[in-house]
A and B are shown apart, each in its own frame.
Chain A
Amino acid sequence: MSERTTTLPPPRQLDVIEQDDERMLVSMGPQHPSTHGVLQVLLEISGERITKLVPEIGYLHTGIEKSAENLFWNTATTVIERMDYLAPLSNSLCYFLAVERLLGITDRIPERAQQIRVLLAELTRIASHCVWLGTHGIDVGAISAFFYCFDLRERILDLSEAAGGARMHPNYFRVGGLASDLPVGFLDRLDALLKFFPQRMRELRDLLVENPIFRDRTLGVSRLAAKDAVAWGVTGAPLRASGVAYDVRKAFPYSGYEQYTFDVPTRTEGDAYARFLVRLEEMDQSYRICRQVRERLVAGPIAIDDPKLVAPAKQTIAVSMEALIHHFKLVSEGMRVPAGAVYQPVEGPRGELGYYIVSDGGNRPYRVRTRPASMYNLQVLKHLGVGELIADLVVAIGSLDPVFGEVDR
């Protein structure tokens, strides 16, 4: 019996905002171009100053958590990757790390698979920061950087396409390892990208760091103290720009991150310009990790050797009856994951991305709860926006870098 009758409180969004001769109600979004998606912010303004604001989310709710409950463990990644659509591989990495923990195979993942996962996760971070930097630049009137960023991103997406077969949602990771090995010629293209990267970062820095318009629009704007950032659950670059050097890769290393040398860039100013500098520095650190992976990349298997969890290679299906049966069982009925629950975090481009996954021992997740980094980061807008100018609110939203696929899921 489903309970379809509920008592709903009346929509109160307009009650909290009053209008009179002094104050005016402005609805910003959900189609405003500077809201990076479908955010609506109800503003009560007095002149150009914001006196109250109510962010409204949910315009992009697609029921991904519900869909994931109805998909096999391995196929759920198709919807999982569409949450944070700018960093699909961070999402699927986190999800599969959680599933592997439930299966108890975390220690058995082959070295090569872990290295390639780290490589692609870091490339994804660079690509995601490219979108953020390009659109944030446009918000504040620095348009040229957009083209430089999207060119770099396109080169990374080419690599993602080469590895997984798709630019945006490669579905490249699997339970126990990867879907397939890197294709022939991938490493040469990677080398070309790594050779090109420092030059592009120099260009981006030349365009923006000392750019007087960019500095005027971001310096000292939407300042967030460390105390408030922690209380509001802010993670990722906004937290580190407020001085708290919390990075999941350092604090709770996963997938072999403890083997790589990298820094956690921090600033103490906590304003939009500090977030910009922290993210730029993060791109350099990701590049450092990518280079280390490239140097150390080992040969070997790309998935664990367990036919109950990993589909056998296509060539063996034609000659081995067992392989055919295992393949058929995996495709038609999926794997079974022992009952239990797990919380697994990773450092996504937007902060701590986590999955709390419950299994009832079946072939589908019982519950997939996401810890959406951008939802918590965006929520702090309620604290940041009051007292700011409308134009600075645009900067604040841009510098928090929300992705609405993840905020609304």
Chain B
Amino acid sequence: MRRSDEDARLSEQIHADSIVTERVTPDRLYSRLRELRDAGFTMLLDLGGVDYPDRPDRFEVVYHLLKLPLAPAGVYEIARPERRRILVAVGGEKPTLSSIVDLWPAADWAEREVYDLFGVHFQGHPDLRRIQMPDDWEGHPLRRDYPLRGPARDAAPRPNFSLKGNVGANVPATPRTEVRTHE
């Protein structure tokens, strides 16, 4: 259990880099991203999820955008392209965000991955199914409350070596190797 002041710090989310960060609500997400794309942020670098179980809106999806020209361009034309970060928090029984696959085709697998590993749904995604885990997998492994070794292995009894029960009662103890000394 984390302490409450750590929760407060987490919810503030200090970024140690200089990327301009915006926080939007789920209903503004699609329109804001479309605005940014039309403003020249032509590449969706990445989108990924983070799980904060103690927050009211549990999941945070992080979008990173990059300003790049759409036509062939040299190093000096590109210079220092701008980056932008969008944070969106989403919670509830069935956390749902709008899909941005029609804005950037690159979002396809990344959204499937967030769905697969966190259970965040993306409305409007053409093919929202699991991508990393098998199709019949239950649960979302990257949630913080998902056990590291998986639910099945977590529930299985572990061998108890302290009882020495794996040595049969009638088996004589292994004789120690004789240590020969110089005569």
Question: A342 to chain B: which residues have CB within 8 Å?
Answer: 15-17
Q: Is A70 an interface residue (CB 8 A)?
A: yes
Question: B85 to chain A: which residues have CB within 8 Å?
Answer: 343
Question: B48 to chain A: which residues have CB within 8 Å?
Answer: 356, 369, 371
B residues apposed to A, CB below 8 Å: 2, 6, 9-10, 13-17, 19, 42-46, 48-51, 62, 64, 68-75, 77-81, 83, 85, 104-106, 108-110, 117, 119, 127-136, 138-143, 145-148, 151
Question: A11 contacts B45, CB within 8 Å?
Answer: no
Given that A3-B139, A251-B80, A383-B105 are known contacts, is A102 also in contact with B132, CB under 8 Å in the complex?
Answer: no
Task: State which residues 23-67 of A face B: CB under 8 Å.
Answer: 57-58, 61, 63, 65-67
Q: Is A226 an interface residue (CB 8 A)?
A: yes
Q: How far is B64's CA from A231's CA once the two chains are assembled, in angstroms?
A: 13
Question: B138 to chain A: which residues have CB within 8 Å?
Answer: 4-6
Question: A367 to chain B: which residues have CB within 8 Å?
Answer: 50-51
Q: How far is B104's CA from A266's CA once the two chains are assembled, in angstroms?
A: 24
Question: B51 to chain A: which residues have CB within 8 Å?
Answer: 367
Question: A354 contacts B68, CB within 8 Å?
Answer: no
Q: Is A2 an interface residue (CB 8 A)?
A: yes
Given that A6-B119, A371-B64 are known contacts, is A67 also in contact with B17, CB under 8 Å in the complex?
Answer: no
Question: B117 to chain A: which residues have CB within 8 Å?
Answer: 65
Task: State which residues 201-252 of A face B: CB under 8 Å.
Answer: 226-227, 230-233, 242-247, 250-252
Question: A57 contacts B131, CB within 8 Å?
Answer: yes
Question: B75 to chain A: which residues have CB within 8 Å?
Answer: 245, 247, 250, 264
Question: B17 contacts A231, CB within 8 Å?
Answer: no
Q: How far is B74's CA from A268's CA once the two chains are assembled, in angstroms?
A: 11
Q: Is A379 an interface residue (CB 8 A)?
A: yes
Question: Which one of A66, A343, A366 has the highest number of Cβ atoms from chain B below 10 Å of its Cβ?
Answer: A343
Q: Is A172 an interface residue (CB 8 A)?
A: no
Given that A231-B105, A354-B46, A354-B64 are known contacts, is A2 also in contact with B139, CB under 8 Å in the complex?
Answer: yes
Residue of B nearest to A2 (CB): B145
Question: A9 to chain B: which residues have CB within 8 Å?
Answer: 128-129
Q: How far is B138's CA from A251's CA once the two chains are assembled, in angstroms?
A: 42
Residue of A nearest to B10 (CB): A360
Q: Is A352 an interface residue (CB 8 A)?
A: yes
Which of B19, B46, B141 is in CB contact (< 8 Å) with A66?
A: B141
Chain B contact residues, majority secondary structure: loop
Question: B74 contacts A266, CB within 8 Å?
Answer: yes
Q: How far is B44's CA from A101's CA once the two chains are assembled, in angstroms?
A: 23
Q: Is A168 an interface residue (CB 8 A)?
A: no
A: contact size bracket: 35 or more
Residue of B nearest to A239 (CB): B68
Question: A360 contacts B9, CB within 8 Å?
Answer: yes
Contacts A66-B146, A233-B106 known; 7 new A-B pairs at CB < 8 A: A11-B135, A58-B133, A67-B148, A226-B72, A230-B68, A356-B62, A361-B6
Which of B17, B44, B106 is in CB contact (< 8 Å) with A344?
A: B17
Question: Which one of B14, B43, B74 has the highest number of Cβ atoms from chain A below 10 Å of its Cβ?
Answer: B43
Question: B73 contacts A369, CB within 8 Å?
Answer: no
Residue of A nearest to B79 (CB): A251
Question: B71 contacts A226, CB within 8 Å?
Answer: yes
12 A–B contact pairs at CB < 8 A? Answer: A2-B146, A12-B129, A57-B132, A58-B131, A226-B70, A233-B104, A245-B78, A250-B75, A343-B83, A358-B50, A379-B105, A379-B106
Question: B135 to chain A: which residues have CB within 8 Å?
Answer: 8, 11
Q: How far is B18's CA from A101's CA once the two chains are assembled, in angstroms?
A: 11
Given that A66-B141, A66-B148 are known contacts, is A268 also in contact with B72, CB under 8 Å in the complex?
Answer: yes
Question: A8 contacts B130, CB within 8 Å?
Answer: yes
Task: State which residues 368-395 of A face B: CB under 8 Å.
Answer: 369, 371, 375-376, 379, 382-383
Q: Shortest CB–CB separation between residue A73 and chain B, in angstroms? A: 14
Q: Is A339 an interface residue (CB 8 A)?
A: yes
Q: How far is B68's CA from A345's CA once the two chains are assembled, in angstroms?
A: 16
Question: A233 to chain B: which residues have CB within 8 Å?
Answer: 43-46, 104, 106
Question: B143 contacts A2, CB within 8 Å?
Answer: yes
Question: B73 contacts A3, CB within 8 Å?
Answer: no
Q: Is A1 an interface residue (CB 8 A)?
A: yes
Question: A102 to chain B: which residues have CB within 8 Å?
Answer: 16
Question: A408 to chain B: which residues have CB within 8 Å?
Answer: 132
Question: A251 to chain B: which residues have CB within 8 Å?
Answer: 78-81
Residue of A nearest to B9 (CB): A339
Question: A352 contacts B45, CB within 8 Å?
Answer: yes
Question: B73 contacts A341, CB within 8 Å?
Answer: no
Task: State which residues 324-368 of A face B: CB under 8 Å.
Answer: 339-345, 352, 354, 356, 358, 360-362, 366-367
Question: B50 to chain A: which residues have CB within 8 Å?
Answer: 358, 366-367, 369
Q: Shortest CB–CB separation between residue A382 and chain B, in angstroms? A: 8
